Each structure stands twice: as structure tokens, then as C-alpha cells.
């Protein structure tokens, strides 16, 4: 029986340190244990190579250990499918922060309740974010990178190109990439 840990954060700017420390403290590093870690979005299991490796590594009698339910999946459907697959393969799931152990009836109940709540929270967060973005746009906030050139510089650049100045010279003068020059010229 091995304790296999899985740690995940959504973006490269986030740290895995706290999750890894908890997984190590739980015993995922003992002789048979291992910790898989990755920095990928949890919206789907596609592209999460470390999760796929972790899932392949799990054997009957093993315990998959995570710190929170949302580290494993973002939707209740995905989470319950993963849990069902683990159960069918004889693998237990332990969620440290939420005190869930699917080897017990109480743990199974708590798992399903918290999975539904986690999905609800994500939906509410996504809805608030969309509302905030729409409100900001209504108030004139512009999203994305700032313009590389002022309107005057853009007009000058277009005139220079029309008069035969080479793209490489425009790139050098304005400090732009070739792709940016061509994109700005077509705007």
C-alpha cells in the first residue's frame, strides 16, 4: 500500500510548496510513496501529463492523497468520475485539508457534498468575474496589452512603409517585432 501524492496549481506563478509539505507530512515520501506535481489548469484532465502519470502509477490498495478537492478536478462530474474510477480499481482517496477519506461511508458522503460545493463556488466566481469585466468595459476600461504606438506614431509608420521603408528598418526604429509591424500595418 503506497501513499501517492498529487499536487497542482493553476498557473506557473503559483507555488506548490505548501501542498508538497502537507503531502510529505502525510507520508507520501516513504519508501513506496511518490509525489506528482504540475502547474496546469484544472478545468479538464486533458494536457495534465503529471496527473495522467500519477493515475497510471496507482495500484490496487494504494492511497491517492491530495490537499484539496479542487486540486484534482474543477467539475463535480470530472471529480466523481475520477473517484468512481479509483474506487473500481481499489484505490482510496484522501483529501488532507477537508478531512476526507473515501474508505469510510462518512468520507464518501463528505466527498460528494464538498465536490458539489466546490463546483458551485467556481461557477459563482466565474460569474462574478464575467460581471466585473462587463462592468469595467461599460466604464471604458480596456483590457489587454497597452498599445505599442500612439496614434501619431502608427500613422507615421504606415506612411513610412507606404513610401518604401523596409519592415526591418521600421522594426528597429519602433522597437517592434516583425509580427507586430505587420499586425499594426493592417489595422
Assess whether 10 carries a catalytic annotation: yes
* Dist. CA 7–CA 50, nearest whole Å: 9
Catalytic residue among 10, 11, 41, 150: 10
Phi, psi at 64, each rounded to 5°: -90, 125
Cα first-last separation, the chain:
62
State how beta strands 92-95 and 34-39 pair: unpaired
Residues paired with 92 in a beta bridge: 63
* Dist. CA 182–CA 167, nearest whole Å: 8
Burial 160-173 (b: 16+ CB within 10 A, else e): ebeeeeeeeebeee
Question: Quick one: DSSP state of residue 147?
Answer: P
State how beta strands 92-95 and 100-101 pair: antiparallel
Q: DSSP alpha helices (H): ranges in the chain?
A: 17-26, 49-57, 76-88, 105-138, 151-162, 167-174, 178-186
As annotated, the active-site residues are 10
Amino acid at each position: 500500500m503506497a501513499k501517492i501524492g498529487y499536487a497542482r496549481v493553476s498557473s506557473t506563478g503559483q507555488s506548490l510548496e505548501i501542498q508538497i509539505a502537507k503531502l510529505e507530512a502525510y507520508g507520501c515520501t516513504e519508501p513506496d510513496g511518490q509525489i506528482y506535481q504540475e502547474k496546469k489548469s484544472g478545468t479538464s484532465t486533458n494536457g495534465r501529463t503529471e496527473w495522467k502519470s500519477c493515475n497510471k502509477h496507482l495500484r490496487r490498495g494504494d492511497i491517492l492523497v491530495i490537499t484539496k478537492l479542487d486540486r484534482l478536478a474543477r467539475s463535480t462530474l470530472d471529480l466523481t468520475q475520477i473517484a468512481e474510477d479509483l474506487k473500481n480499481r481499489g484505490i482510496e482517496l484522501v483529501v488532507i485539508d477537508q478531512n476526507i477519506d473515501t474508505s469510510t461511508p462518512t468520507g464518501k458522503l463528505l466527498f460528494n457534498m464538498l465536490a458539489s460545493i466546490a463546483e458551485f463556488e467556481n461557477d459563482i466566481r466565474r460569474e462574478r468575474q464575467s460581471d466585473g469585466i462587463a462592468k469595467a468595459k461599460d466604464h471604458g476600461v480596456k483590457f489587454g496589452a497597452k498599445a505599442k504606438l500612439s496614434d501619431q506614431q502608427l500613422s507615421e509608420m504606415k506612411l513610412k512603409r507606404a513610401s518604401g521603408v523596409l519592415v526591418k528598418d521600421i522594426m528597429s526604429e519602433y522597437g517592434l517585432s516583425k509580427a507586430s509591424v505587420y499586425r499594426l500595418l493592417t489595422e
